């Protein structure tokens, strides 16, 4: 079992790399989508709506296949554009699909966060004469981030799990190695326990990190620290402990 | 050949095969979802009124199942199930390899996963119930089964509809992963078509459109069901 575990751990760097890159790039795309959605310009708004509708309404695996296998149909055109080198590699295709997919979900999380900022606070900031930039930096972004954080944490966990789909297009991350080991040894349960433990630990770390960040960002929701009081000597001496 | 003529319903098109495969997708997702409802209901009941040990077990079940990739769970049921059946067959008779059908393994895996999500949905819906109504039911002398049937179940279902809608969408998307077992559902059928016509983009695009149609219609259905169930509730 220890040997299995070590073999599976060899896939961990790839799992982490895929998760980290897709979450980071996805956040950038999501911010662009959320900006489009809230821009008030119909063309941009509808593009973002359609994007979110399509990417949330279809399974991620279909998106991966569409990019990895599907674009092969346009190979001559892609070769002419010098893009074939990119779409030929399963790693880049998986990363692209994961990024585009998470961007759709995260853009809705960002939008929800921004919309949760109370109007009154924005108006108050304007009344104080804050410039739009300062308004965003001091008022809107801190409140929106705090609101969006729990949902965003869930999305990161979903992405950790989603990287397992890259194994279907031959990427040897943790699930890919697990599948290879299962078909070689048929010890499905043992391998499942080891691989499952890796993902659980990973997700536990993510959950804790998000919780710590949430705690840091919401000092106003915590109880004020209780000032240390000097105990009455008469009472404290009466207590045995 | 254009995508449209490729997907025609006639004898030379793939349309009919794709629609049949979409039916398989729907059935494996529905079987899994229904199994998940049974599991989710039982687990929610344990979480709400079980002993400390049973509650801890129920919490562990939801935490573990929500933290492990669905694909890994499908592999467990498909390969693990075959290994288990083969060893049982070995005990009973000549033995040899006994495989689990992709449909059974897939539906069970989806059921176990969506059960974890549904237990949370049901638990949340139960806590949204008005305590007073349960006390009132007790005070008019309803026994537990009657109270469950007349007071608890209808209202829990009402509050659970939006959450169940989300879990159904998840089950539907998980069903695409069942294609790894070789079950010819929508995605697998597209791969077959893509392989024999060498037009993968057309086939996966058609699959995406069919998935989109299914998710759109079902989210519309859940919205209708919600507004029907909430017709007697005052909105604030």
- pLDDT digits over B72-82, tens only? 999 999 998 88
Q: Which residue has the tokens 């804050």?
A: A130
Q: A236 lies in a domain? A: no
Distance CA A69, CA B199 (A): 9
Question: What's the longest Cα–Cα distance across chain B?
Answer: 72
- Write down all domains in chain B, each with its CATH number in brackets: 15-227 (1.10.3720.10)
- pLDDT digits over B108-128, tens only? 999 999 999 999 999 999 998
Phi-psi region of B196 (alpha: psi -120 to 50; beta: other; left: phi over 0): alpha
Distance CA A91, CA A111 (A): 30
Q: What is the mean pLDDT of chain A?
A: 91
Residue A42 to residues A47, A49, B25, Cα–Cα distance (Å): 8, 10, 36
Range of the domain at A40: 2-219
Q: A237 lies in a domain? A: no
Under an 8 A CB cutoff, do A200 and B64 touch? yes
* Residues with Cβ within 8 Å of residue A238, at least 6 apart in sequence: none
Q: A238 lies in a domain? A: no
Q: Specify the DSSP element, H or E, that contains A127.
A: helix A119-127
Number of independent structural domains in chain A:
1
Which residue does chain A place closest to B77, by CA atoms? A188
Q: Residue B146: pLDDT band by 50, 70, 90 thresholds?
A: very high
When scoring A60, A162, A188 by the number of chain B Cβ atoms within 10 A, the one with the most, hence best to mutate, is A188
| Residue in B79, B172, B211 closest to A188 by CB | B79
Q: Residue A235: pLDDT band by 50, 70, 90 thresholds?
A: low
| Residue in A58, A72, A195 closest to B208 by CB | A58
Under an 8 A CB cutoff, do A57 and B190 touch? no
- pLDDT digits over B10-32, tens only? 667 888 999 999 999 999 999 99
Phi-psi region of A17 (alpha: psi -120 to 50; beta: other; left: phi over 0): alpha
Domain of A201, CATH number, reads: 1.10.3720.10
Q: How many other C-beta atoms are found inside a 10 Å radius of the C-beta of residue A232?
A: 9
Q: What DSSP line would sit under B161-223, residue for residue?
A: HHHHHHHHHHHHHHHGGGGGGT--SHHHHHHHHHHHHS-HHHHHHHHHHHHHHHHHHHHHHHH
pLDDT attached to residue A237: 54
Structure-token pair, residue A18: 């895929």
Chain A, chain B: beta-carbon pairs less than 8 Å apart: 120
Chain A CB contacts of B63 under 8 Å are: 200
- pLDDT digits over B22-71, tens only? 999 999 999 999 999 999 999 999 999 889 999 999 999 999 999 999 99
- ipTM for this prediction: 0.90
Q: A79 lies in a domain? A: yes
Under an 8 A CB cutoff, do B208 and A62 touch? yes
Q: Residue A20: pLDDT band by 50, 70, 90 thresholds?
A: very high
- pLDDT digits over A147-206, tens only? 999 999 999 999 999 999 999 999 999 999 999 999 898 888 899 999 999 999 999 999
* Residues with Cβ within 8 Å of residue B191, at least 6 apart in sequence: A65, A69, B179, B203
């Amino acid at each position: 079992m220890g040997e299995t575990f070590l073999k599976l751990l060899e896939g961990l760097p790839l799992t982490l790399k895929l998760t980290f890159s897709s979450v980071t790039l996805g956040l950038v795309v999501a911010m662009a989508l959320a900006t489009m959605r809230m821009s008030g310009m119909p063309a941009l708004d509808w593009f973002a709506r359609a994007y979110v509708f399509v990417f949330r309404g279809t399974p991620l695996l279909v998106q991966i296949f569409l990019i990895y296998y599907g674009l092969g149909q346009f190979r001559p055109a892609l070769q002419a554009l010098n893009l074939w080198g990119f779409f030929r590699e399963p790693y880049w295709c998986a990363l692209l699909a994961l990024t585009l997919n998470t961007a759709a979900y995260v853009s809705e999380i960002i939008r929800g966060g921004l919309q949760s900022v109370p109007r009154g606070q924005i108006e108050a900031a304007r009344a104080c004469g804050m410039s739009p930039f300062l308004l965003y930096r001091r008022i809107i972004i801190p409140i929106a981030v705090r609101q969006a954080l729990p949902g965003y944490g869930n999305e990161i966990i979903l992405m950790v799990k989603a990287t397992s789909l890259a194994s279907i297009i031959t990427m040897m991350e943790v699930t890919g190695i697990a599948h290879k080991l299962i078909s070689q040894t048929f010890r499905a349960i043992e391998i499942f326990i080891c691989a499952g433990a890796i993902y659980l630990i990973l997700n536990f770390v993510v959950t804790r990190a998000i919780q710590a960040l949430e705690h840091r960002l919401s000092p106003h929701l915590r109880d004020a620290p209780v000032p240390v009081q000097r105990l009455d000597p008469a009472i404290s001496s009466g207590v045995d402990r | 050949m254009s995508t449209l003529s490729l997907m025609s319903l006639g004898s030379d098109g793939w349309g009919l095969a794709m629609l049949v495969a979409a039916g398989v997708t729907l059935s494996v997702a529905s079987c899994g979802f229904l199994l998940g409802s049974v599991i989710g209901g039982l687990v929610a009941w344990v979480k709400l009124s079980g002993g400390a040990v049973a509650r801890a077990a129920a919490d562990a079940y939801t935490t573990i199942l929500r933290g492990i990739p669905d694909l890994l769970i499908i592999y467990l049921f498909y390969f693990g199930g075959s290994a288990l059946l083969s060893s049982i067959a070995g005990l009973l008779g000549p033995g040899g390899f006994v495989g689990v059908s992709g449909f059974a393994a897939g539906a069970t895996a989806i059921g176990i996963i969506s059960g974890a999500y549904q237990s949370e949905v049901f638990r949340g819906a139960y806590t949204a119930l008005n305590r007073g109504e349960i006390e009132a039911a007790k005070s008019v002398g309803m026994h537990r089964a009657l109270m469950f049937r007349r007071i608890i179940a209808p209202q829990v279902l009402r509050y659970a509809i939006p959450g169940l809608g989300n879990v159904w969408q998840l089950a539907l998307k998980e069903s695409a992963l069942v294609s790894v077992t070789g079950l010819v559902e929508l995605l697998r059928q597209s791969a077959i078509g893509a392989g024999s016509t060498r037009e993968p983009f057309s086939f996966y695009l058609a699959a995406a459109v069919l998935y989109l149609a299914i998710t759109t219609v079902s989210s519309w259905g859940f919205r209708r069901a919600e507004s029907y169930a909430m017709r007697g509730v005052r909105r604030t």
